[in-house]
């Protein structure tokens, strides 16, 4: 049986890329990571993909100043490698209309909060965790959602709840949510690969 071919977009360290790649090595995995694109030529995530013989490209405003050309080159890279599912992990750029048209609704993003709370423009990284703490929420955790042409508005297809503990700081909460991302994302991709596209809520 063929495996689901996954393409990944990454900007920085790529810990979720690493989690996906490790999960794909399990004999029971029904997916494989076949292409990685980064908008950051010095991204450790891009270096990791190269070290593991995954097809890579640095594509950004530096390589393609014209946004339409950049969009089409991203699309073409994934088409070239027969990608069937695109995953954005810490990728800080909006996808263009050509890539969205080619792959939607099979584009996923992992967001570090329980959407629909704490999503939208500017809600990324530590800004999200600070907002959770400021709101006094007792539960947080990552969400995996379908990417559309707005920030964090696509259908949520997976969440994993983690507690917000007394005395939590942005850093301690971020670390707990980040660890949960590494569990949730491979589970959701495996679920899609086995044809189960069902809502997944993993309890802590």
Q: Is 201 marked as a binding-site residue?
A: no
Chain centroid to Cα 169, Å, comes to 24
Q: How far is CA 182 from CA 5, 158, 185, in A?
A: 19, 13, 6
Per the annotation, the verdict on 129 as an active-site residue is: no
Q: Which residues contact 16 (CB under 8 A, 6 or more apart)?
A: 10, 87, 89, 90, 110, 181, 182, 185
C-alpha closest to that of 46 among 24, 13, 70: 13
Catalytic residue among 111, 129, 145, 182: 111
Q: Is 16 marked as a binding-site residue?
A: yes
List binding-site positions: 14-16, 109
List binding-site positions for (6R)-10-formyltetrahydrofolate: 109
Active-site residue numbers?
111
């Amino acid at each position: 049986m063929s495996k689901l071919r996954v393409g990944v977009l990454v900007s920085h360290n790529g810990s979720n890329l690493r989690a996906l790649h490790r999960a794909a090595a399990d004999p029971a995995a029904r997916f494989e990571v076949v292409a990685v694109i980064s908008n950051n030529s010095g991204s450790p995530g891009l270096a990791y993909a190269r070290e593991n013989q995954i097809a890579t490209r640095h594509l950004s405003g530096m390589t393609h100043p014209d946004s339409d050309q950049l969009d089409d080159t991203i699309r073409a890279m994934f088409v070239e490698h027969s990608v069937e599912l695109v995953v954005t992990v810490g990728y800080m750029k909006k996808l263009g209309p050509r890539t969205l048209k080619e792959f939607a609704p099979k584009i996923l993003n992992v967001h570090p909060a329980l959407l629909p709370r704490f999503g939208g423009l500017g809600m990324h990284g530590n800004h999200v965790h600070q907002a959770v703490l400021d709101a006094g929420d007792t539960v947080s955790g990552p969400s995996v959602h379908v990417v559309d042409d707005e920030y964090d508005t696509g259908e949520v297809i997976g969440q994993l709840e983690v507690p917000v503990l007394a005395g939590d700081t942005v850093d301690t909460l971020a670390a707990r949510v980040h660890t949960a991302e590494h569990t949730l994302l491979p589970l959701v991709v495996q679920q899609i690969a086995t044809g189960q596209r069902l809502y997944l809520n993993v309890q802590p």
